[in-house]
Amino acid sequence: MKKLILLTLTFSFLFFQKNSHAQAAADDWEAWSKTQLDKQEVYIEMRDGTRLFTSVYTPKDHSQRYPILLIRTPYSVEGTGPDGYSRYLQNNRPLIEEGYIFAFQDVRGKFMSEGEYVDIRPFVPNKKSAKDIDEASDTYDTIDWLIKNVEGNNGKVGVFGISYPGFYSTMAILSGHPALKAVSPQAPVTNWFVGDDFHHNGAFFLMDAFNFYSVFGRPRPEPTREWTTGYPFPGEDNYDFYLEMGPIKNSRNLWFSDTIQFWNDLFAHPDYDDFWKKRDPLQYLKNVKPAVLTVGGWFDAEDDWGPQHVYSAIEKNSPAADNRLLIGPWWHGQWSRAAGEHIGNIYWGSATSKKYRELERKFFNYFLKGQGDMDLPEATLFVTGANEWRSFDHWPPENTAQKTLYFHPDGRLSFFPPSANNGFDEYLSDPNHPVAYTEDVHLRRTREYMTDDQRFASRRPDVVSYESAPLTEDLTIAGPISPDLFVSTTGTDADYVVKLIDVFPDTVRFYHKNEKAVPMAGYQMLLRGDVLRGRYRNSFEKPEPFVPGKVTEVKFEMPGVAHTFKKGHKIMVQVQNSWFPLVDRNPQQFVDIYECNEGDFQKAVHRVYHEKGHASGVKVLVLE
C-alpha cells in the first residue's frame, strides 16, 4: 500500500488551479480591486425568514448608477474572510472596468448562509405560502432586496455563474422578477441522471461523484467560511483504487458511513423516478422574459450536456425569448479563467476565450445598460478541426443533412450501409478488467481526456474500432451524435460506450505543438464519447434486462459537436462496454448495481452487428 495521502478537494481544486505564480497574480489583482470597489457583507432575509449571506461590491465612482450582477453559489463567496475580496471577482476584471455592482451569495444551507441545503433543489411551480421556497424564490427575494437597498443601482439585474452557479442562473430565469433583464447560465448543471456530472444516460459517473461528494457533501454543523477536508485516499492510481473498492456499495462502508446525504439518495434512486424528474429545470423554461446567453464548452467533462439542452428547451418552450448560445473549445469554465489556447495535446491556434469576454461584455452592456447594439448571432460556435468561429441562425444548423456512419467487416466505416446478409464483431468483456478511460496513471479525473489519443483503446481486444478511408475533402458535422447499434450479449445487462474520433494522417511526420511533444502522426483525437446503461435503452424510468443472445437495438443521443474532419484525416468510431473508473462497472447481470456483490460481476460475450436488417452505425448531421 502506498503512503496514505489526504484527499483535499478545496474550492481551488473544483474551480481554480493554484500555484505560486497564480497566487501572486491573485494578490496583485486583489490589491487592484480594492482601489475600484467598496465591500459590504449583509444578510438578506428570505420570505420564510431564512437569512442568506451576501457580499456586495459597489464602484467607488458614485457619478452614475450601475446595474447589479449577481452570482449565487454553494462554493463560498467569502472564504478569505471579511477583509478579503471574493475570488468571484478575480476573473471578472473586464466587467469591473465596465462599471457594475457585484453581489455574491451563499445559497441556503451553505457556508455562511442559514437554512437547510438541498442538492439541485426542485422548482416549486405553484407556490401557495412562504414555506414554498426554491432557488427561484430565493433569487427573487435577493433581487428585490438588492434593488431596494443597494445605493447607486439602476434597477436592472443580471445573473450569471459557471457549473452549480450555472444551475442557480437557470433557476433565476424562473424567478420572474421584473428587474431581472439578462441571465447567462454557463456550463449549467441541468439533469444529473440523463446528461450532466454524475450520470450519463443512467450510467453512474463514479469518479466525479466520489471526488466531489467526499468534500462537498459532508454535513455543515453551523455557518462557516471554511471548506472541509476530504477523506484519506490511498495511492495515486485511481484505476486501482476504484477497482479495489469493489462493488460501489462498499463506498458507504469504507468511506462515507452514510454521512453523505446525496450519496444515499443516489443509492435510493437508481432509476429515473420523481426524485430526478422534479430536479430537471428544463420542463419549466416557459414564457422566459429575461434575455439569455448560455455558454458551454465542447470539451467540458462535467457539463457539456446542460448548455445545449438549456438553450434548446428555451427555443422549444419559449420561442419568443431572446435566446443565444456560445460554445467554444473549452474545458469546464476555461472560458472564464484561462486563455483557451488548447486542451491537452490539441491546440486551436488562438486565445479562444477572448470571444467569450467580447460577447459577455456586449450582452450585459446592452441589456443592463442600454449600450451598444444587440448584433450577437443566435449561435456563436467554435468549429474544431477548422479552428474557426462561425455564426449560425439556429442550433443545430438548418443547412445540415443527417447521414449514418455504418460499420462494416474488417473494421471499415462508411456512409453506405452494409450489404452482407451476415456479419458481426464478437469480443469478451470482463468487468474485472475494465477498459480505462485514459492511458495515464493519475489520482483524479483529468479534463484532458476529452481530447485524448485513443490508440491505447484501439489496441484492446474488448474495444471494436471502425475507421473510414482517408477523406478526399473536408467534412464538417454540426449537431448531436446518435449511435444506433444492433448488439447481443450473453449477459442480461451491459453498458455501451461509443466514441467519435478524428484520426490524423500517418504521413504527418512532425511534433505538433503540445506540452509533452506528443507525436501527432496517427493521433486518434476523441471528439465525443458517451455511454448508455443498456437497461435504459427503452426507458430511463423502467429498466429492462437483455435476453441473452438476442439481437437488440440500442440507440441514444450524445451531446453535439461542431467539427471539421480535414482532407486526409479519417473518421473512427469505437464501441466498448466499460469506461473505468469514469463510469462504474456494470456487472453485466440485471441486478441492482448499487447493492450488488462481487460475485455478481460476470464476463460476457458481446456482438456488434453490421448486416442487412441489423446495420449498426452512428447518425451525424453533415453541414452542407
Q: What pLDDT, in 10s, does the model give residues 193-240? A: 999 999 999 999 999 999 999 889 888 888 888 887 777 777 889 999
The pLDDT, as a whole number, for residue 20 is 40
310 located within any domain: yes
Helix (H, G, I), strand (E, B) or coil at 282: helix
Which of these, 169, 52, 61, 43, lies nearest to 106 by C-alpha position?
52
Residues 6 or more apart whose Cβ sits within 8 Å of residue 127? 133, 134, 137
Q: What is the CATH number of the domain that holds 481?
A: 2.60.120.260
The pLDDT, as a whole number, for residue 278 is 96
C-alpha cell at 106: 451563499
Q: Are residues 383 and 435 in the same domain?
A: no
226 located within any domain: no
The pLDDT, as a whole number, for residue 228 is 78
Residue 514 pLDDT class (50, 70, 90 cuts): low
Residue 508 pLDDT class (50, 70, 90 cuts): low
The pLDDT, as a whole number, for residue 8 is 34
The pLDDT, as a whole number, for residue 256 is 82
**Backbone region of residue 152 per phi and psi (left: phi > 0; alpha: psi in -120 to 50; beta: other values):** left
The pLDDT, as a whole number, for residue 515 is 63
Q: Are residues 445 and 422 in the same domain?
A: yes
Q: Are residues 384 and 499 in the same domain?
A: no
The pLDDT, as a whole number, for residue 2 is 33
- Print the domain residue range for 372: 32-189+287-392
pLDDT at 436 over 80: yes
Angle at 234 between CA 230 and CA 235, to 5 degrees: 120
Q: Are residues 425 and 367 in the same domain?
A: no
pLDDT at 268 over 70: yes
470 located within any domain: yes
Q: Are residues 404 and 505 in the same domain?
A: yes
pLDDT at 7 over 50: no
222 located within any domain: no
Indicate the number of domains in the chain.
2
**Distance between CA atoms of 233 and 214, rounded to whole angstroms?**
10
DSSP tag of 503: E
What's at 356, amino acid-wise? Y
pLDDT at 22 over 90: no
pLDDT digits 0-9 by tens, 463-483: 999 999 999 999 999 999 999
Q: Are residues 327 and 453 in the same domain?
A: no
133 located within any domain: yes
Residue 27 pLDDT class (50, 70, 90 cuts): low
Q: Are residues 150 and 167 in the same domain?
A: yes
Helix (H, G, I), strand (E, B) or coil at 468: coil
Q: Are residues 467 and 330 in the same domain?
A: no
Contact 215, 228 (CB under 8 A): yes
The pLDDT, as a whole number, for residue 226 is 85
The pLDDT, as a whole number, for residue 255 is 84
47 located within any domain: yes
Give the mean pLDDT of 585-596. Answer: 97
Contact 158, 183 (CB under 8 A): yes
Helices (H), 1-152: 11-15, 20-36, 93-98, 135-149
| Range name among 2-6, 235-239, 544-548 with the lowest pLDDT average | 2-6
Radius of gyration in angstroms for the set of CA atoms belonging to the chain, rounded to a whole number? 25
pLDDT at 511 over 60: no
| Range name among 25-39, 46-60, 122-136, 305-319 with the lowest pLDDT average | 25-39
pLDDT at 13 over 60: no
DSSP tag of 617: E
pLDDT at 12 over 60: no
Of all helices (H) and strands (E), which one includes residue 570? strand 570-576
pLDDT at 512 over 60: no
Contact 330, 353 (CB under 8 A): yes
Q: Which of 392, 423, 456 is the last residue of a domain?
A: 392
pLDDT digits 0-9 by tens, 591-615: 999 999 999 999 999 999 999 999 9
Q: Are residues 178 and 58 in the same domain?
A: yes
Q: Are residues 146 and 184 in the same domain?
A: yes
Q: Which of 392, 427, 443 is the last residue of a domain?
A: 392
| Range name among 213-222, 300-309, 318-327 with the lowest pLDDT average | 213-222
605 located within any domain: yes
Q: Look at the chain and count its residues.
A: 624
**Distance between CA atoms of 520 and 497, rounded to whole angstroms?**
24
C-alpha cell at 325: 448560445
The pLDDT, as a whole number, for residue 389 is 98
Q: Which of 392, 417, 442 is the last residue of a domain?
A: 392
Give the mean pLDDT of 22-31. Answer: 64
Q: What is the CATH number of the domain that holds 98?
A: 3.40.50.1820
Q: Are residues 521 and 608 in the same domain?
A: yes
Residue 597 has phi, psi (to 5 degrees) of: -110, 170
The pLDDT, as a whole number, for residue 518 is 76
Give the mean pLDDT of 395-417. Answer: 97
Q: Are residues 407 and 368 in the same domain?
A: no
pLDDT at 87 over 50: yes
What's at 359, amino acid-wise? L
178 located within any domain: yes
Contact 121, 89 (CB under 8 A): no
Of all helices (H) and strands (E), which one includes residue 364? helix 353-364
pLDDT at 487 over 90: yes
